Structure 1
């Protein structure tokens, strides 16, 4: 089962990476607001159909309780940051920074969920943040201020993941995704109108746009499937493969040349994140054994 889960996770990350690449390509003739609109409207259509096919109830009275509204807000902020980042920042840099989310979630769990972590995990968190600093290189003359967008995405998605731990677990993932798209669509429409953009501009490669939307939604569904098929602790470390996929695509498609500092930083983020996840696996097993012994 874990083998299938790992395969689905790798496939999900590869799909996301290709979708990210297409977003960057589409950014040459679409504004970030237009890309956001297409991603949200297409995602709403696909997730809505999947939810109906699965027989899920979309008349969920808890869909807009405060905790879920907060989750939707962080999701929208993260999506805006991600689209802006993919438009203006090198693909490899976006991948390295945004995949540091589990490290930030671990810190958030300490301060907001009152979880206790050992000095080993604190050390790992420190190395992870050092990796982010090496990727961003604050203070460097060549630093691009646009790097603030992937950082915003990192923070927003980390808060979202933290909030997800507090949401009702019995709400289906596809339904939750549909509610998120319903909440995000007016925001995307308002962004397009505010910029004075056309919703369906001329000269657009609609084939690429459709593939971009489909792959973005497919990656999300594969991610859900991987988490349901395999054990969370076994599957989640492979989410970092997205960094590798984006590094390769950045070089092949956009002729990016990651610096040594960026590569070292990305490596630290991967090692730190994987250690945190594996350490959580050990602690969960220990707690389960203690309950059995008691």
Structure 2
């Protein structure tokens, strides 16, 4: 991302005149955040078991915090630092931290495919929460697109029932706190600097990593909770922290533009991205069922984009009231 575009984005996000730019802008920034989060996961995987989990979270958090702080200085956003003490900003950081901790506990005690399946229920959770708590109109077509995308995810990860146990509760906790984070992000005042929101999130997350490191040291001994990192691991964690920073920044934008139920459904694109990285870096070749799952995810996304374009056109023509599904149904004659 170029310096010019960052500067423009930073100035806009700190302006009290910032407006909701609609579903397409939210979808675009969600795609960016998913790409950056997936790249962050790649660097975490490259570190592997060379460092303890809490130690990785802590070091990565420190790198991300320093980076965001420098960006805030460069874009002159520190004058808005008092915004980091807004209740919604602090709650967002806490939700992000708790989601990460729950996810890490689940990953240590469940198969990766099972954890992935649980976490990719986030779009379903946020869609339901948006309908119940934010009053968004979520019709049968939008629910169908979300569910088809979720089926595509299940076709890829194929979780085994035998792999679920007590620790599945922590996976569900990660889903709950991630969905809560996104809904809280929606409530952050529109005039807030999203660089400051990102900085606050990274600070809270780093503190959470420190607490986790201390807890691991207390229960298993500090000789296993803190391992000496080499230069390569530090470089990987610096890269992970950089992409985590960008992911947090763009997901904050995504959750403040468009409808949560629409924008959140595009998290499913993380699976094709992860599979691409797996093929390019580790030589993992998808099988036929995996390709079927990818096609379902892409079909869900393409349908959602097509539907939102039609709804936007109908609204421009003056049909501004009512359920978006009803608008499309009336236009196509399939009420």
For the aligned pair, the TM-score class normalised by the smaller chain equals 0.7 to 0.9
User: Contact between 2:148 and 2:300, CA under 8 Å: does it hold in 1?
Assistant: yes
Q: Which runs of 5+ in 2 are unaligned?
A: 6-23, 322-335
* Structure 1 residues 248 and 89, CA gap change in structure 2 (3 angstroms): farther
What is the rounded CA distance, in whole Å, between the counterparts of 1:72 and 1:152 in structure 2? Answer: 15
TM-score (norm 1): 0.74
What is the rounded CA distance, in whole Å, between the counterparts of 2:298 and 2:111 in structure 1? Answer: 18
What is the rounded CA distance, in whole Å, between the counterparts of 2:279 and 2:111 in structure 1? Answer: 10
What is the rounded CA distance, in whole Å, between the counterparts of 2:253 and 2:58 in structure 1? Answer: 27
Matched, 1:40 2:61: yes
Give the secondary structure class of the aligned counterpart of 2:49.
Answer: coil
What is the rounded CA distance, in whole Å, between the counterparts of 1:224 and 1:140 in structure 2? Answer: 32
What is the rounded CA distance, in whole Å, between the counterparts of 1:53 and 1:10 in structure 2? Answer: 26
Report which structure shows greater RCO (CA 8 Å, sep ≥6). Answer: 1
* Structure 1 residues 47 and 16, CA gap change in structure 2 (3 angstroms): same
The equivalent position to 2:276 in structure 1, one of 234, 248, 253, is: 248
- Any idea what the Cα deviations from partners look like across 1:44-66, whole Å, max 9, x if unmatched? 11111111221114554443343
Give the secondary structure class of the aligned counterpart of 1:114.
Answer: coil
Which residue number corresponds to residue 113 of structure 1? 134
* Structure 1 residues 203 and 157, CA gap change in structure 2 (3 angstroms): closer
| Aligned ranges 1:118-197 → 2 under 5 Å | 118-134=139-155, 137=158, 140-141=161-162, 143=163, 152-196=173-217, 197=222
* Structure 1 residues 19 and 242, CA gap change in structure 2 (3 angstroms): same
* Structure 1 residues 208 and 7, CA gap change in structure 2 (3 angstroms): same
User: Contact between 1:99 and 1:240, CA under 8 Å: does it hold in 2?
Assistant: yes
Q: How many residues align?
A: 289
* Structure 1 residues 116 and 211, CA gap change in structure 2 (3 angstroms): closer
What is the rounded CA distance, in whole Å, between the counterparts of 1:93 and 1:260 in structure 2? Answer: 20
Moved more, 69-78 or 175-184: 69-78
Moved more, 69-78 or 236-245: 236-245
Cα offset, 1:7, TM superposition: 8.9
Matched, 1:211 2:211: no
What is the rounded CA distance, in whole Å, between the counterparts of 2:28 and 2:129 in structure 1? Answer: 29
User: Contact between 1:103 and 1:276, CA under 8 Å: does it hold in 2?
Assistant: no
User: Contact between 1:27 and 1:87, CA under 8 Å: does it hold in 2?
Assistant: no
User: Contact between 2:36 and 2:246, CA under 8 Å: does it hold in 1?
Assistant: yes
Cα offset, 1:271, TM superposition: 3.7
For the pair shown, the structure with the greater C-alpha radius of gyration is 2
Which residue number corresponds to residue 202 of structure 1? 228
What is the rounded CA distance, in whole Å, between the counterparts of 2:183 and 2:26 in structure 1? Answer: 22
What is the rounded CA distance, in whole Å, between the counterparts of 2:150 and 2:27 in structure 1? Answer: 26
Cα offset, 1:191, TM superposition: 0.9
What is the rounded CA distance, in whole Å, between the counterparts of 1:37 and 1:11 in structure 2? Answer: 24
Cα offset, 1:176, TM superposition: 0.2
* Structure 1 residues 47 and 6, CA gap change in structure 2 (3 angstroms): same
- The two structures, once aligned, show a CA RMSD in angstroms of 4.4
Give the secondary structure class of the aligned counterpart of 1:171.
Answer: coil
